[in-house]
Structures are given as C-alpha cells and as structure tokens.
C-alpha cells in the first residue's frame, strides 16, 4: 500500500485529500461524513482513499464486541441492556478505526449480517445467533465502496441497506434472517465511495439519485494539469515501485504519525458554531436556487465546519463555504446553476471587507434576494462542472485576511 504522504497532490485530486481528512475528523467525532470520488480510471482516487488505512487512529471498544460498542455508550443487542458495572467487568480493547470494504459483488448477508454458523453448529451449546455484517462492523469507522455505480445497478437490495445506513446520522441497519427476530442496530459509519461515471452503468446520480444525494460531498477527480505535476507523479511512482516491499523509513513513519495525531487532536476540539449570517446565507441559497434537498445545506454546514477546523481557525468564514460549496452541490444542481451560484458568490466584492467589519449579516443575504434569471430546473441529472473543480482557496483566504 502506498504511503498517504507520498501520493502526488495535483490540481485534479487536491480536493480529495481535503475530503478524506475532513471525513476522518468527522468520523472520530462520531458524526458520519459521506464522500464520493468520481473520476476516470487511473486517476488514483481509490489509492488515495485506501492509503488512509495507514494512518487510522485507535478507538476503544468493549473487549471482543464485533459491533465496536463504545464502553460509555453500548448499542449492540448483546451489550445495550447491560449495567455500567457489567460492561466494566467485560474489559476494553483498542482497535484501529474500522475501514471495511464492500465490493460490487457482495451479498446481502455479508453486508448487513447473517446467522452465525459457528454458534449454530457448536456441539456443546448450539444457539441461533447473528453475525454482524460489514456495515454494523464498521460502526465508528469507514465503509469503502469502489465502483458504487455498479453496486447500485446490480444490487438494489444492498443499495436499500446503504440508504438506511446513510439516511440519518447515525443511521441504522436491519439484520434479518429466517427464523430469527429482526435485529436493528444503530450505525455511525462514514461511507467513502468511488466510481467512474464514464464507464458502464454511468453516473450514480442517474442510476440511483437517492443514493447519490446521501453523499455529503462528491469530489470530481481530474487529471493533473501541468507537465511538472505529471513528472512528479512519474517520479513518485518509480520510487514507490522500487520501495513497495520495504518498510517505511523512520522519518516517513514519524511524519505519518504526526499527521495522524494532528487529525486526532482536531477531532477532539470543540466543534465550531456556524455564525448567523452564514446560516442566513445558506437559507437564501436554498430558497432562491430551489435546492432539492435540505441535505445539501446540512452537508455544506458540516463541511464548512470541518474545513475551518482543518485550517486551524476558530471561526467559520465565507471562504470555508466557498471551498466546499461546489463539492456539496456538484451532484445536486445542474452545472449551469452551480456556475451561476459560484459566480455570484465569487463576484461579491464585499466578502473580504464585510467579514472584517463584522457586519456581513446585512450584506450577504442580499446576494440572493433576487431570483436568478438564468437558473435551470434541476430535473435533469447534473452535468460535470469541471471548471469549478478547483477553487482559489488560498486567494480567498488572502483576500479575507487583507
Ligand atoms: Zn457490543
């Protein structure tokens, strides 16, 4: 597996690094944050996502609990009714944040849960018990699904399970097995998915719109755009291929450890609060652009919060929203609407100065007071909005600091 820090960052994939770090922080905070990387084969999206496995912090669970019960808040069928004393007597253990994969050929029993054959066939004490599947076992962690568009196309029943698990935060999963009572467990896991919208069966938004909308962010992955970036990728690939079998050097290990500790410490900080004028801004965005789901606003809010935390700022700024806006709306509005929204937001000359003067409440909502004239109805699946892939985030921050 490639080292997360060795992977080349370029204009086409930068947002994905940001998204995985934001989602990891949110997962550690107990609040799932679902991300979907869309891009051509060979753009390295799955490599980036999988490489996070090397820097997963640890969580504490009740010893041996396959559902990863938090000793302070047990939720599984076996532990949820126990007293704190009984829980304490079971002991605890530390495991890395779960990172489990669902392949597009997975079966429902593997994903949700099935009858535990080892317990059923135990000659000393046969009993009918359930074995939790991948989703309940990923509680407090990450579920990774490559080719999610194919999964949605070929396994509608697994898609339904995912819709339940991602529907609310935390979600839930039902484990059903003939002859046993249906068991429902809460699940708090972030879903990370990847797909190639240009390959069969096409973009997820066209196959199962509902599932596509469950993702807080969709990150369009592009090719590197300069020759220097390509050279860098080739050189890194060459080095990592030569080094693939060797252990990480002490320096690499310590840098990775540093990044892990950094993300963990951000996750333990108090959550920032969205200032009122930015909430107003989002409300106006929703009304004036006829956004289809309130999920979009929730996603923007949560993403902006995480982005500000990742940038180690103690307040959320409009630049946080502008950075995450295209990723939260990419799969939810047409590219024409998205372009229009971004143009309106970016062209507002008052953004920098008004935040500084602390009087933005008067100005920002006015941005959207008039109904846009050229916005299109969102009944068609969103088009790619490639020009918005990369935002001039650094420039914005510079502008805000002026
Ligand atoms: Zn448990």
pLDDT of residue 181: 82
Mean pLDDT estimate for the chain: 84
How far apart, in whole angstroms, are the C-alpha atoms of residue 243 and residue 246?
5
pLDDT of residue 261: 96
Q: Is the pLDDT of residue 56 over 90?
A: yes
C-alpha 67 to ligand 1 mean position (Å): 5
Nearest to 400 by CA among 346, 361, 344: 346
C-alpha 164 to ligand 1 mean position (Å): 20
pLDDT digits (tens, 9 = 90+) for 6-47: 888 888 899 999 999 999 999 999 999 999 999 988 888 999
C-alpha 59 to ligand 1 mean position (Å): 14
C-alpha 30 to ligand 1 mean position (Å): 16
Q: Is the pLDDT of residue 81 over 90?
A: yes
Mean pLDDT to the nearest integer, 318-342: 94
Q: Is the pLDDT of residue 84 over 70?
A: yes
Residue with the bigger pLDDT between 41 and 52: it is 52
Nearest to 361 by CA among 300, 281, 286: 281
Nearest to 17 by CA among 47, 41, 39: 47
Nearest to 316 by CA among 306, 308, 327, 326: 308
pLDDT of residue 376: 41
Domains of the chain: 1-57+141-164+187-269 (3.40.50.300), 276-401 (no CATH)
How far apart, in whole angstroms, are the C-alpha atoms of residue 3 and residue 9?
13
How far apart, in whole angstroms, are the C-alpha atoms of residue 239 and residue 249?
13
Range from 182-186, 333-337, 345-349 carrying the lowest mean pLDDT: 345-349
C-alpha 185 to ligand 1 mean position (Å): 10
C-alpha 77 to ligand 1 mean position (Å): 7
C-alpha 74 to ligand 1 mean position (Å): 6
pLDDT of residue 382: 43
C-alpha 71 to ligand 1 mean position (Å): 8
C-alpha 299 to ligand 1 mean position (Å): 30
Q: Which of 135-144, 228-237, 356-365 has the highest mean pLDDT?
A: 135-144
Range from 58-67, 131-140, 192-201, 389-398 carrying the lowest mean pLDDT: 389-398
User: In the chain, pLDDT over 90 holds for what percent of residues?
Assistant: 63
Q: Which residues of 26-47 are buried (b: 16+ CB within 10 A; e: fewer)?
A: bbbbebbbbbbbbbeeebbbbe
C-alpha 128 to ligand 1 mean position (Å): 17
Residue with the bigger pLDDT between 225 and 319: it is 319
C-alpha 190 to ligand 1 mean position (Å): 19
């Amino acid at each position: 597996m490639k080292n997360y820090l060795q992977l080349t960052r370029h204009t086409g994939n930068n947002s994905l690094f940001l998204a995985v770090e934001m989602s990891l922080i949110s997962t550690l905070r107990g609040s799932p944050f679902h991300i979907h990387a869309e891009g051509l084969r060979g753009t390295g999206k799955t490599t980036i996502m999988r490489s996070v496995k090397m820097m997963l912090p640890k969580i504490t669970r009740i010893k041996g609990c396959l559902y990863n019960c938090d000793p302070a808040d047990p939720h599984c069928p076996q532990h949820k009714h126990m007293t704190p004393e009984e829980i304490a007597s079971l002991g605890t253990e530390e495991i890395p944040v779960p990172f489990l994969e669902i392949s597009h050929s997975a079966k429902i029993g593997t994903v949700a849960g099935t009858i535990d054959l080892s317990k059923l066939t135990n000659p000393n004490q046969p009993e009918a018990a359930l074995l939790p599947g991948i989703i309940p076992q990923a509680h407090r962690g990450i579920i990774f699904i490559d080719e999610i568009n194919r999964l949605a196309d070929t396994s509608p029943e697994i898609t339904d399970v995912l819709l339940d698990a991602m529907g609310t935060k935390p979600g839930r999963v039902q484990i059903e097995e003939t002859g046993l009572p249906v068991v429902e467990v809460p699940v708090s896991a972030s879903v990370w998915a990847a797909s190639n919208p240009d390959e069969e069966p096409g973009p997820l938004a066209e196959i199962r719109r509902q599932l596509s909308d469950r993702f807080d962010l969709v990150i369009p992955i592009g090719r590197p755009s300069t020759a220097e970036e390509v050279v860098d990728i080739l050189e890194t690939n060459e080095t990592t291929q030569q080094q693939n079998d060797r252990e990480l050097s002490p320096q690499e290990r310590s840098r990775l450890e540093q990044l892990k500790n950094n993300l963990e410490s951000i996750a333990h900080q108090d959550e920032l609060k969205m200032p009122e004028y930015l909430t107003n801004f989002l409300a106006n965005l929703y009304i004036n652009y006829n956004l289809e789901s309130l999920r979009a606003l929730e996603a923007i809010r949560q993403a902006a919060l995480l982005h500000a935390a990742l940038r180690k700022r103690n307040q959320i700024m409009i630049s946080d929203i502008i950075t995450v806006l295209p990723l939260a709306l990419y799969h939810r509005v047409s590219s024409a609407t998205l372009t229009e929204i971004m143009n309106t937001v970016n062209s507002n000359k008052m953004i920098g100065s008004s935040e500084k003067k602390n009087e933005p409440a008067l100005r920002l909502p006015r941005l959207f007071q008039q109904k846009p004239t050229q916005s299109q109805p969102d009944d068609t699946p969103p088009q790619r909005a490639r020009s918005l892939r990369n935002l001039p985030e650094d420039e914005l921050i510079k502008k805000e600091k002026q």
